[in-house]
Amino acid sequence: MTDRMWSLSEFRFDQAIQAAEVSVFDDETGRFELMPRDRAIALAHAREANLVEWWPQGAVEAPQCVITKVTLPLRWEQLPEEAEPVDERLWFEASCGGRDFLVGNGNTFTGRMMAWCPQKQRSYRVSSSEIEVMPDETRYFVTGFLAGTQPGHPIDDRGDTDEADWAAWLSATRRFRRTGQWNGRWGTCQECGCVLLPDNPADHCAEHSPQAAG
């Protein structure tokens, strides 16, 4: 499994396949057969189909391909709209005082979760810092969700991690697992000028925050 979904712009078929030879999957034998790309295209067209590159091309000289139908213009498969299933064990007390439910990843900012309001019949996004009253089931869900979505540690162009970056990442992710906030942008403390950790939405560091001063 890759770490991202491929773009439709990466879909390659027929002459767009940039290789002199391809490895074509044979449905009858269940094996791949190496052949010139143009011969494979002719074979596909003879079957009123197209030659499709199975994976976005990497470093391989002969990409794996399949013979299948392609319809233009290219479009993604369409699924019917479906409501997110609600697990009523994952409730929390909403700002309105009622019970709303966590239903999954918010798919926006890191740490944001999707919630469902049965009273208004609509979904919205929420961070763990906005949730106070919840049962153990919801608390365990939030803990696992944040642990699984925390950003990776910083690396340089050689793949190494600076000691100061590593220490900052440990601090930021520890607080992220508690608050669910991750801004991912640069900022500095208005008091001392230090570079703020990427999970800090404020304009002061922890040492000079109003809470610390109070």
Q: Which residue has the higher pLDDT, 170 or 35?
A: 35
What predicted TM-score, i.e. pTM, was given to this entire model?
0.53
Does 8-68 carry CATH code 3.50.50.60? Answer: no
> Are the C-beta atoms of 53 and 44 separated by less than 8 Å?
no
Q: Which of 48-57, 103-112, 128-137 is modeled with the greatest confidence? A: 128-137
Residue 5: predicted pLDDT: 67
| Encoded amino acid at 147, one letter | A
For 112-125, write each residue's pLDDT tens digit: 898 999 988 888 99
Confidence check: pLDDT of 51 > 80: yes
Cβ neighbours for 32, distance < 8 A, ≥ 6 positions apart: 23, 24, 25, 26, 64
Q: What is the DSSP string of 114-168?
A: EEEETTTTEEEEE-GGG--S--HHHHHHHHHHHHHHPPPPP--TTS---HHHHHH
Residue 189: predicted pLDDT: 84
| Encoded amino acid at 162, one letter | D
Residue 82: predicted pLDDT: 64
Confidence check: pLDDT of 83 > 70: no
Confidence band of 59 (pLDDT split at 50, 70, 90): low
Angle between helices 163-179 and 136-149 (to 10 degrees): 150
Residue 69: predicted pLDDT: 92
| Encoded amino acid at 37, one letter | R
Residue 30: predicted pLDDT: 85
> Are the C-beta atoms of 84 and 123 separated by less than 8 Å?
yes
Residue 1: predicted pLDDT: 37
Residues of the chain with CATH 3.10.20.80: 8-68
Nearest CA among 18, 15, 9, 17 for reference residue 74: 9
Least confident of 54-63, 70-79, 187-196: 54-63
| Residue 163, beta-bridge partner list | none
Confidence check: pLDDT of 81 > 80: no
Alpha-helical segments (H) within the chain: 37-46, 136-149, 163-179, 210-213
Confidence check: pLDDT of 2 > 50: no
Percent of the chain with pLDDT over 70: 91
